[in-house]
Chains A and B, each alone.
Chain A
Amino acid sequence: MTHAIEVRNVYREFQQRSAAGRVRSAVHAVDGVTFSLAAGNVLGIVGESGCGKSTLARLILGLLPPSSGEALVDGRSLAHMDRRERARLIQPVFQDPFASLNPRQRVRDIVGLPLASQGDLTKRQQTDRIMEMLARVGISTEMADRFPGQLSGGQRQRVAIARALVLHPRIVVCDEPTSALDVSVQAQILNLLSDLRRELGLTYLFISHNLAVVEHIATEVAVMYLGRFVEHAPTQDLFRRPMHPYTQALLASVLTPEPALGIPDVGLGDAYPDPTDIPLGCRFHPRCPKALSECRTLVPDNIRKDGRLVECLLAAST
């Protein structure tokens, strides 16, 4: 069986100039990621800002070539795929619903653009598809004639989702689709994405730094740290029994609305990760509350067991 997404040992570096404009250093944005995602599943990716989530999404979407390794979608490399075919297979939904919509186009034209560039439907058929899609995401016929500036943030994100789905792609890559939205609107969008997945049998790659959101929507979760997946497990397993110390710290820092519990001390210290200077040994060791002395020199193996993956020396011994 071919996987919806298959990523094999992908690396991506960027050259960065220092403030003085001289010294160049390499940013290791994605540093050896391997995974496969079966059709119909939702992979949630969590991790701190700058850990490489969006870069990975762009690599998978074919918007950025890898420095090495390969990303296959439906068993094929997007780089060699015709643009129109690619658009029917995989589509992105980005964080900022305002920046991603052309302010001078009406909603119906924004949603219709992918259809028009396919060129295989009559005008009439296109209009029907647009209206069907807009109805599905809860945008009224009246709103179809508006410009993005005349919509609320949640309505704009619905339009962006309609545009992504109008070609009936099989895979959707959502990069922080609800981060710019209020919780009440976030709930609307999450419910919409879940319904659409059920009805249309979609596969999602869902990036977020909100663990509660990911737990709600994902069937499996990958935790990313400095360019790598340090843990990857089915959602329930990861939330019930996090194995990597970084996953444990992330879960401990979620503030549930329960009064009187106070603010947890997650014990990560102040050594902020720097993707231009990845620590030797375990890349998490400068912040790890459980670090052993060998963590400074030994690179943890990729431990796979019970259907999950963990990169930690402690996991090897248990």
Chain B
Amino acid sequence: MAPVLSIANLRVSFPRMEAVRGVSLTLRGGETHCLVGESGCGKSISALSVMNLLPRSAVRSADHIRFHEHDLLAMSERQMAWLRGDKIAMIFQEPMTSLNPAYTIGSQMAEVLERHRRASRRQALDRAAELLARVGITAPGMRLAQYPHQLSGGLRQRMMIATALMCDPEVLIADEPTTALDVTVQSQVLRLLRKLQQEMGLALLLITHDFGIVARMAEHVSVMYAGEVVESGPVEQIIKAPTHPYTRGLLNCIPVPGMTKPGEPLGSIPGGVPHIGRGFLGCGFRERCPMAARECAEPVHLHDAGEDHFYRCRLPPDWKLDASP
């Protein structure tokens, strides 16, 4: 099946740093693709690049960013504005900053449909109420008249999802939609996203730093580190047989309930994320990597591990840590 969204060799730089360094990924209809990685590794910036909503100081380039056969790089801002919120919708990391505190939920939701579909206020509000009910909000009529600060975090996040669905998008980009929520509410919101996606055939690009969410939600995952996708592939494969040293380290750091042995330390990755300036060469993970060698300071190419599984490291797919038993 042809991808709905395809990004090839995306680069984004700020005056003092390279935030995204050659990211490629594809998203098919009805599929969930997760983007995971350390804070600051470029997940949100990659997503904002697709929407053409980067901060002014950012410079974007790519071989292509395609929605079906349309190249988004070649589009005017007017065409992009038409696509945003219509065919491609996004849920932002900080819902409060993307909501206007001065307007009711109803008027913020209705505005999307009025702008994109020239719907009347009445029609738009009806659609808004229908979607609020669909995301599990009881008494939608009352909620439409409320202001953002009057809703709990969980309700606000559902309202953001409902707003994103106003125009039946084909692609939904959700940036850490549940990071700020309690685990019980998180389950409700994720179940909802899954259900809507199946009903509407949405392609979902889900940004998270939680491997639990990746495992339960996605078919495909791309692991980012320091502005690059360092490993990508089918979720089962990446979790059962991670190849890149960063992915392996990351999976070892996660405490898993029921698997804790008292007194045993967690696996950890020493050190922190490097600053990536202009002209940075070689593997971005080498300062923290237990397998780093001199050649890791040279450009590292993408390796094919078969079955749609790729990783960016000099090592063979079945490498083992010498010290490990």
Which A residues are within 8 Å of any B CB, using their own CB? 19, 48-49, 152-155, 182-188, 190-191, 194-195, 209, 211-213, 215-216, 236, 239, 249-251, 253-266, 268, 270, 272
Contacts and interface: CB of A to CB of B under 8 A. Distances in A.
Nearest first, the 8 closest Cβ-Cβ pairs linking A and B are A255-B212, A187-B253, A187-B268, A212-B255, A187-B266, A257-B211, A216-B255, A184-B269
B250 A183 contact: yes
B273 A190 contact: no
A144 B253 CA distance: 27
B323 interface: no
A184 B215 contact: no
A19 B150 CA distance: 9
Contact of A188 (B190, B235, B251, B268): B268
B299 interface: no
Task: Give the bracket for the number of chain B residues in contact with chain A.
Answer: 35 or more
B270 A188 contact: yes
Contact of B187 (A19, A191, A213, A264): A264
17 contacts: A48-B182, A152-B273, A187-B253, A187-B255, A188-B268, A211-B257, A215-B260, A250-B184, A253-B184, A253-B187, A256-B258, A258-B215, A263-B191, A264-B187, A266-B187, A270-B136, A272-B152
Given A184-B249, A272-B154, 14 more contacts: A182-B38, A183-B253, A184-B38, A184-B253, A185-B272, A212-B256, A215-B257, A249-B184, A254-B183, A259-B215, A260-B215, A261-B215, A261-B216, A263-B216
Contacts, number: 134
Nearest to B269: A184
Contacts of B236: 259-260
Given A184-B249, A272-B152, A216 B213 contact: no
B272 A154 contact: yes
B183 A152 contact: no
Contacts of A268: 184, 188
A71 B210 CA distance: 37
Interface in B45-65: none
A188 B183 CA distance: 23
Contacts of B253: 183-184, 186-187
B183 A190 contact: no
A185 to B, nearest CB: 7
Interface of B: 38-39, 136-138, 150, 152-155, 182-188, 190-191, 194, 209-217, 235-236, 239-240, 249-258, 260, 262-263, 265-270, 272-273
Residue of A188, A257, A266 most packed against chain B (CB within 10 A):
A257
A263 B194 contact: yes
Contacts of B187: 253, 255, 263-266
Given A253-B187, A259-B236, A260-B236, A191 B266 contact: yes
B265 A152 contact: no
A261 B254 CA distance: 18
B98 to A, nearest CB: 21
Contacts of A250: 183-184
Contacts of B240: 259
Contacts of B250: 183-184
